[in-house]
Amino acid sequence: MSSASKTWMVAASIGAVEALKDQLGVCRWNYVIRSANQYLRNNLRSVSQAKKLSSSSIDYTNKTKQAEESLRTMANTPLMVSFGEMLIDFVPDTSGVSLAESTGFLKAPGGAPANVACAITKLGGKSAFIGKFGDDEFGHMLVNILKKNGVNSEGVCFDTNARTALAFVTLKKDAHMAAMKTAKDAGVLLSYDPNVRLPLWPSTEAAIEGIKSIWNEADIIKVSDDEVTFLTRGDAEKDDVVLSLMHDKLKLLIVTDGEKGCRYYTKRRNSKGECLDTTGAGDSFVGAFLVSLGKDGSILDDEGKLKEALAFANACGAVCTTQKGAIPALPTPADAQKLMKSKSK
């Protein structure tokens, strides 16, 4: 299968996924998983149909031709699926003051998986979001924001017994594995950002166990230097410490470090990480890199292309830090290119 016709899966923080589940037990969360599985299967089936149609030579009516062209377009546009949470950030309208001292707050949609999905569409890619919302004003507002940003929301469901943007506990600990298995069984590339939030976990040990359950299956991982330290109890600046996190299935490991930019590790470069000296990282970074990867799957095997894609991703992350809010601050390709040109002078 060519890189252009693959469907891509973006796996967000497993801690954030836990925050989506409710205290009412496994029933409703299983519904989300079933919705996710069906959504992935439907899209993968459409891609498969498009590939079959594109290789056949048959007579067809104009209506059939239009349907075929639509399926071909779907097959040639890589789909990135974000699985996890979306919430509302309340950002102080005054910088440099405590929450208590702030005179007001700006309402901004956020949540790592949703941010990545919106970053992808803003950069010209195709994305979908799978998750659960409370059946309330905030929940419907957030789904409308997804739609306005061009993100497919067919995998969303509403729960009348839960409230949007609150952390809930669950008796079901392995629900995320079902969605991941569906994606992996279909040959989908899995990108993972652990996005560690310890308050969402009952213990440090539980956090590490949950993170590793996806980590060991991921093809691409973006992690911060602090998260490397958390997972290894070692010095994140040392390559051998980072390399201890590599596994046979992992094609690319990216370590971000704020203003220092990022280092990346591949199977080919297994002794020392390459550092790109540009600022900015986060959800915009991940979205930008996945868009580049969706356009050209050979990036993972071409050192020059990989560096270009990571430099572009870093620029997108840097632009995002200059504005308030997460989704509203996501850059366009022109924004990122402008920053890259200014730094090259």
Whether pLDDT at 121 is above 90: yes
DSSP SS3 for 124: coil
pLDDT at 253: 94
- Cα 314 to Cα 275: distance, rounded to the nearest angstrom: 11
Going by their DSSP bridges, the two strands 189-192 and 105-110 should be labelled as unpaired
Distances (CA, A) of 300 to 29, 121, 184, 233: 35, 22, 18, 29
Distances (CA, A) of 274 to 82, 116, 220, 239, 245: 28, 24, 16, 10, 16
Q: Residue 210 class from Cβ within 10 Å (0-12 exposed, 13-18 middle, 19+ buried)? A: buried
DSSP SS3 for 49: helix
Give tens-digit pLDDT for 173-227. 566 677 777 777 878 888 888 888 887 788 899 888 888 888 988 999 999 899 9
pTM of the model: 0.71
Domains defined along the chain, listed by start: 3-56+65-344 (3.40.1190.20)
- Cα 178 to Cα 213: distance, rounded to the nearest angstrom: 12
DSSP SS3 for 175: helix
Give tens-digit pLDDT for 54-71. 444 344 445 445 544 544
Give tens-digit pLDDT for 293-303. 988 889 988 98
Cβ neighbors of 86 (< 8 A, separation 6 or more) are 109, 110, 111, 113, 114, 129, 131, 133, 142, 146
Whether pLDDT at 35 is above 60: no
Cβ neighbors of 176 (< 8 A, separation 6 or more) are 11, 14, 17, 83, 213, 214
